Amino acid sequence: MKTYNFYAGPAILAEEVKKQAAQAALEYENTGLSLMEMSHRSAEVTAIMEEAVALTRELLNIPEGYRVLFLQGGASLQFYMTALNLLDSGKTAAYVDTGAWSKKAIKEAKRCGGVDVVASSSDKNYNYIPKNIDVPASAPYVHITTNNTIFGTQFQEIPDFDVPVVADMSSDIFSRPIDVSKYDVIYAGAQKNMGPAGATLVIVREGALGKVTRELPSMLDYRLFIEKNSLFNTGPVFSIYVSLLTLRWIKKNGGVEGMVNRNTEKANLLYEAIDNHPLFYGTAAKEDRSKMNVCFLLHEPSRSDEFLSACADAGIVGVKGHRSVGGFRASIYNAMDLAGVRQLVKVMESFQ
Amino acid sequence: MKTYNFYAGPAILAEEVKKQAAQAALEYENTGLSLMEMSHRSAEVTAIMEEAVALTRELLNIPEGYRVLFLQGGASLQFYMTALNLLDSGKTAAYVDTGAWSKKAIKEAKRCGGVDVVASSSDKNYNYIPKNIDVPASAPYVHITTNNTIFGTQFQEIPDFDVPVVADMSSDIFSRPIDVSKYDVIYAGAQKNMGPAGATLVIVREGALGKVTRELPSMLDYRLFIEKNSLFNTGPVFSIYVSLLTLRWIKKNGGVEGMVNRNTEKANLLYEAIDNHPLFYGTAAKEDRSKMNVCFLLHEPSRSDEFLSACADAGIVGVKGHRSVGGFRASIYNAMDLAGVRQLVKVMESFQ
Ligand SMILES: Cc1ncc(COP(=O)(O)O)c(C=O)c1O
Ligand SMILES: Cc1ncc(COP(=O)(O)O)c(C=O)c1O
Ligand SMILES: [Mg+2]
Ligand SMILES: [Mg+2]
Ligand SMILES: [Mg+2]
Ligand SMILES: [Mg+2]
């Protein structure tokens, strides 16, 4: 039986990516070596790093003045690292609180400087995206979480803020075109839309750096990683390579424009099934619905296990909702195809 | 032609480990999913994490009171993180300077508190291990680098210090038995003796934590990772799994006792070849020679490229020495077998 992977992260990878990754784990390009046992300073790994950067630039249309880094530590380390690099202790940055991940970003930023929570949707268990957000012009940046993995909401458009944006795009990077010039930093753990856990993508405007007065520990200083093309120390080579394989797959499938079309079609299909079904309902405000993480509940929660076991019988894994929302969450990242969503819809439709 | 992998890190993995890793990249244990696309909270990944911890405890005979963590960031992040967690700003820790990595550890520790460099071998380009090291009883710990990857020296015995030891064992972890009770923290990037880049092993005595007065960023606080069994955030699952495969391989091959025997035999063979050969000589003081990284030079350095190309012709990769020593470095970690060392010796012997 085919398995349909709806995990929220680590998450689905394209079939051809898995095959190529397995080959590289065994032997990389007739070198006689696994990619996992090759020096990060070897010609082969250097070429991988360069292509990963170049393809990121191409797919996201990144302008001059920005640098692309592949780091370790996950998005959670970026919560701290972005603030450490950009928020001086006398200053106050603006943060938009749209869920659990925003809250964690806020917590870590407070260790570095002032934090002004300029908007929050905590009043409704984060089921919407705040509108008309006012950001003081004095803020060095405003931090947003573009897609809220747990609550299934997403900024449909990035508002026009008057200050640079720092964005956690962990769960929707490469899912749609973005205007990089609005941002000072974009970061994303690889393990949702890009690759396996262990690599973290950071896109940073060089001009935004070097302005804080504190001394930075080497491993938390973007400038050192820029200087060393991400390899200030040994990088997570295999995770970066699998991310590169995914970037190639995205390019082959129409780039981020191809992805947004595909993602819109999948999301429409699934939300329609939820809306039309008498037993299910969506949790997120309609206009803020995520195209990546679709959260829905049963009007009769007592039947949840029954639905989960119907999913399991159909080869569907990973649809149990996060405990802070309950119910179900179908994560339909780039690599999920329409057939996977159709399979889930079929199970929903037979569930009466 | 077979390839013989002498890279210093990322470094050689056992053949069966590569095969099993490739299988897991394609599909993990009949789940229909690649291990790279499975939630870090899934039953499968939980079992991997638990076995990796249990096997680390078993192989290193770790006593009660210690915790085993698998983190991200490499040993370089540990340079800072150990000091941040153990060295209060009013205190002065003792550091032994035996090479480039020790120096980096010292640099990062200075951001946290006082650093007293109690011994150094920098006077002779780090070609020996200082003896009779005096550590003030007031030091919260003494930091050592047990094996100096770049300079090819190694503590043969860990001295009896009067204070707890913090040790960077990046390049000799699992290569020999150790007495964990001497240490407050042991850390090691996986990518030499354990697995691919991207995972970092930390063994920490719980009683040593919680004594500094500073507030710790979440991602740099050992206690949070202890509380969450290493998964405070998404861990580098695939790298940890490949490390687990290596730990199983170590156990099957006699544990760390089996490893030290094997490593001693390999190192003896290679050092003997260097000593007996009229054209080559070793760089490290004989009594401090590393069993992991064997550094040697040609009396006529102008013939270096000739030797490297003879190596390449024999399928040998990764023997170019680090620029701070020059010449050649053969890294002969656990997974290197005697046949690999014999191949290198053969090339040396034909080089006249
Ligand atoms: C939006 C968002 N931000 C941050 C994180 C944390 O990422 P990591 O586990 O890589 O630290 C996640 C998911 O885990 C996420 O979905
Ligand atoms: C002894 C030692 N310590 C630290 C490091 C740095 O490790 P990482 O690159 O994982 O930060 C290395 C090697 O790279 C090493 O050999
Ligand atoms: Mg969220
Ligand atoms: Mg409905
Ligand atoms: Mg060294
Ligand atoms: Mg000689």
**DSSP annotation string for A123-185:** GGTT-S---S----TT-S-EEEESEETTTTEE-SS----SS-EEEE-TTTTTSS---GGGEEE
- Residues B310 and A87: their CA atoms lie apart, in Å, by 54
A58 and A182 within one domain: yes
CA B45/CA B28 separation, integer angstroms: 10
Distance CA B82, CA B102 (A): 13
Asked if B172 and B296 sit in the same domain, the reply is no
Q: CB of B85 within 8 A of CB of B221?
A: yes
List residues of A with catalytic annotation: 101, 168, 192
pLDDT of res. A246 = 98
Domain boundary among B252, B267, B292: B252
| A7 domain residue, yes or no | no
Residue with tokens 């300079």: B151
According to the model, what pLDDT value does residue A311 have? 98
Q: What tens digit of pLDDT does each residue of A288-317 get?
A: 999 999 999 999 999 999 999 999 999 999
Range of the domain at B213: 15-252
Mutate to test the pocket of ligand 2, among B76, B103, B187 (most ligand atoms within 8 A of CB): B76
Q: Which two tokens stand for residue B94?
A: 């003792």
Predicted local confidence at residue B87, as pLDDT:
98
Q: For residue A9, is it within any domain?
A: no
Q: Which amino acid does the sequence have at A114? A: G
* Position A108 in a domain: yes
Alpha carbon A315 to its chain centroid, in Å, reads: 25
CATH at B323: 3.90.1150.10
The model's pLDDT over A150-162, given as tens digits with 9 standing for 90+, comes to 999 999 999 999 9
Q: Which residue has the tokens 């935004």?
A: A208
Confidence of residue B66 (pLDDT cuts 50, 70, 90): very high
Question: How far apart are alpha carbons A16 and B153 in whole angstroms?
Answer: 44
- What is the CB neighbour count within 10 angstroms for residue B350? 9
pLDDT confidence of residue A214 = 97
Same domain, A176 and A262: no
Asked if residue A231 belongs to a domain, the reply is yes
Task: Give the Cα separation of B320 and B7 in Å (integer).
Answer: 9
Q: Whose CA is nearest to atom 4 of ligand 1?
A: A75
pLDDT per position as a tens digit, B175-224: 999 999 999 999 999 999 999 999 999 999 999 999 999 999 999 999 99
| B263/B242 same-domain check | no
- Out of B5, B23, B197, the one facing A237 most closely (by C-beta) is B197
Instruction: Indicate which ligand has the atom closest to the C-alpha of A147.
Output: 1
Three-state SS annotation for A296-330: EEECCHHHHHHHHHHHHHCCEECCECCCCCCCEEE
Helices A15-26 and A237-252: crossing angle in degrees, nearest 10, is 140
Residues 6+ away with beta carbon under 8 Å from A103? A97
Q: For residue B251, which amino acid is it?
A: K
**Which of A227, A252, A277 is at the close of a domain?**
A252
The CATH number of the domain holding residue B52 is 3.40.640.10
- A5 lies in some domain: no
Same domain as B120, residue B260? no
The whole-number average pLDDT for the span B331-351 is 98
What is the C-alpha to C-alpha distance for residues B32 and A4, in angstroms, rounded to an integer?
8
Assess whether A260 and A247 both reside in one domain: no
The response to whether residue B108 sits with its C-beta less than 6 Å from ligand 2 reads: no
Cβ(B32)–Cβ(A62) below 8 Å = no
For residue B3, tell me if it sits in a domain.
no
Q: pLDDT at position A142, please?
A: 98
Question: HEC profile for chain B?
Answer: CCCEECCCCCCCCCHHHHHHHHHHHHCCCCCCCCHHHCCCCCHHHHHHHHHHHHHHHHHHCCCCCEEEEEECCHHHHHHHHHHHHHCCCCCEEEEEECCHHHHHHHHHHCCCCEEEEEEECHHHCCCCCCCCCCCCCCCCCEEEECEECCCCEECCCCCCCCCCEEEECCCCCCCCCCCHHHEEEEEEECCCCCCCCCCEEEEEEHHHCCCCCCCCCHHHCHHHHHHCCCCCCCCCHHHHHHHHHHHHHHHHCCHHHHHHHHHHHHHHHHHHHHHHCCCEEECCCHHHECCCEEEEEECCHHHHHHHHHHHHHCCEECCECCCCCCCEEEECCCCCCHHHHHHHHHHHHHCC
Is B2 contained in some domain? Answer: no
What mean pLDDT do residues A138-164 have? Answer: 97
Spell out the residues 6+ positions from residue B305 whose beta carbon is closer than 8 angstroms to its own: none
CB contact under 8 A, B238 and A198: yes
Does residue B234 have a known ligand-binding role? yes
Phi-psi region of A158 (alpha: psi -120 to 50; beta: other; left: phi over 0): beta
Find the A269 Cα to ligand 4 centroid distance in Å.
13
Average pLDDT over residues A270-288: 98
Using CA positions, which residue lies closest to atom 15 of ligand 1?
Answer: A170
pLDDT value of residue A52: 98
Which string of b and e fits A18-29 if b means at least 16 CB within 10 Å?
bebbbbbbbebe
Asked if B263 and B296 sit in the same domain, the reply is yes
- What is the rounded (10 degree) CA torsion for B250, B256, B262, B267? 120
Closest CA to B70 of B167, B183, B169, B202: B202
Looking at the fold, whether A144 and A242 belong to one and the same domain comes out as yes
- Same domain? B317 vs B227: no
Reported as a pLDDT band with limits 50, 70 and 90, residue A88 is very high
Q: Quick one: how far is CA A36 from the chain centroid?
A: 25
Nearest ligand, CA of residue A191? Answer: 1
CA of B23, closest CA in chain A: separation in Å? 7
A223 within some domain? yes
As given in the structure block, the two tokens for residue B224 are 């949070």
DSSP letter assigned to residue A98: -
B112 and B166, same domain (yes or no): yes
pLDDT band at A18 (very low <50, low <70, confident <90, very high): very high
Mutate to test the pocket of ligand 1, among A76, A95, A98, A292 (most ligand atoms within 8 A of CB): A76
Q: CA-CA distance, B218 to A99, in Å (whole number)? A: 18
Q: Is A140 touching B (CB cutoff 8 A)?
A: no
Residues B262 and B245 in one domain: no
Question: Last residue of a domain, which of B252, B281, B305?
Answer: B252
How far apart, in whole angstroms, are the C-alpha atoms of residue B314 and residue A189? 41
3-state secondary structure of A347: helix
CB contact under 8 A, B198 and A75: no
What's the number of domains chain A is made of? 2
Q: What is the pLDDT of residues B289-323, one digit of tens each?
A: 999 999 999 999 999 999 999 999 999 999 999 99
Whether residue A54 sits in one domain with residue A185: yes
Q: Which class for B103: exposed (0-12), middle (13-18), buried (19 or more C-beta within 10 A)?
A: middle
Rounded to the nearest 5 degrees, what angle is found at the Cα of A117, between the Cα atoms of A287 and A333?
40
Per DSSP, A34 falls in state -
With CA atoms as reference, report the closest residue to B334 among B213, B195, B221: B195
